[in-house]
Structure 1
Amino acid sequence: MKTAYIQTPLGTAEISGDENGIAMISIRNSETEISENIPETLREAVDQLRDYFAGKRTDFTFKLNPSGTDFQQKVWQELLKIPYGKTVSYMDITKKLGDVKAIRAVASANGKNPLWIVVPCHRVIGTDGSLTGYAGGLWRKKWLLEHESPTAQQSLF
């Protein structure tokens, strides 16, 4: 497993993966030295993330290889279907999975998403339209949603 650290507008991102795909992308809350040399197996992911932050990319095409339970994988697959610039509620996801009583399990799987930004858990909001918990901090979630907003606005939240 190879790892690289890149600077983003939201802090240092850690990217890990191998020839089977990217297994983890996370944002770090502490300062970490930025990688000078990006391993070949991570280069496509790094380039696409940089393009995303530069406003040149709205989707990701590199191979993913996250570890998780079958249920978590199902939730993450639903998250991948949320279009750029759109949001859904936890209830919307539970309905698509066919079990509205699984809202807490869906929220838990969402919080355990190992692929920051790429599996867009930041696009999940409360049923009432409010920002809800986000492992990277609500300020980052707000920034990401504003970054993806189809129209320039003062502030969404």
Structure 2
Amino acid sequence: MFDDDAGFRQAFTQLLGGEPAPEAALKADWVDSPVGPLLAIADNDHLRLLEFFDRGILPTELGKLKADADSDITLGRTDPIDRLADELQAYFKGQSATFKTPLAPVGTHFEQRAWEALLKVPAGETRSYGDQAVALDQPTATRAVARANGANPIAILIPCHRIIGADGSLTGYGGGLWRKRWLLDHERRAFGHVLI
């Protein structure tokens, strides 16, 4: 999608609806991947957002993030983005599915709990939405879990792609079902035995 940093800057400026702030606590950069460019936003301590650049909900996510941090977003890198880029490179090479980049996603209390449950699903395995609801001690909250997963602002690291339908079908992935299949196939080959 981007040939260089100038292409990213132009696309990011359009996404923001104007020039990035000259100074801000939140820094944004792009990370290339086999499934398309990802927008990474972090403060000095935590990754706050990792999203596929073509995802329609991205402007809404940026608004929530700016309001939560009480900060504009500028272009640049912080230690969490550098760490993330290294960890994603190892992930896509099939070398490691361990991510230690500190995360601070913006979400409701229920969403935060749902995302914490996702972090417990190992690479190479899948769970159903019902399994995730049971893990939250709310077995009837399957739809709420699906909505929380759809609101996940940190793709891949918070692995909502590992949640599938009760019948084993691929359902509900904001980044697109083709990406979900790609990620699960990659994890099956590199880290485990996902059967889809």
Q: Aligned ranges for residues 43-58 of structure 1 at < 5 Å? A: 43-58=82-97
Greater share of helix: 2
| Change in CA separation of 1:41 and 1:156 when aligned onto 2, cut-off 3 Å | closer
| Change in CA separation of 1:52 and 1:151 when aligned onto 2, cut-off 3 Å | closer
Deviations 1:112-154 (A, max 9, x none): 00110000000000001110111000000000000000479xx
Q: Percent identity?
A: 42
| Change in CA separation of 1:53 and 1:130 when aligned onto 2, cut-off 3 Å | same
The match for 1:19 is 44
Letter in 1 for 2:145: V
Give the conservation status (yes or no) of the 8 Å contact 1:44–1:62. yes
Distance 2:154 2:163 in 1: 15
> TM-score, normalising length from structure 1?
0.88
1:134 aligns with 2:173: yes
Question: Structure 1 stretches (4+) deviating beyond 4 angstroms?
Answer: none
| Residues paired across the two proteins, number | 149
Which consecutive unaligned segments of at least 5 residues does structure 2 have? 1-25, 56-75
Letter in 2 for 1:80: L
In our comparison, the structure showing a higher alpha carbon Rg is 2
Q: How large is the Cα RMSD of the aligned pairs?
A: 1.9
The match for 1:7 is 32
Greater share of strand: 1
> TM-score, normalising length from structure 2?
0.71
Letter in 1 for 2:152: N
Deviations 1:19-50 (A, max 9, x none): 230010011228xxxxxx74444211111111
| Change in CA separation of 1:44 and 1:96 when aligned onto 2, cut-off 3 Å | same
Distance 2:77 2:45 in 1: 17
Distance 2:139 2:43 in 1: 36
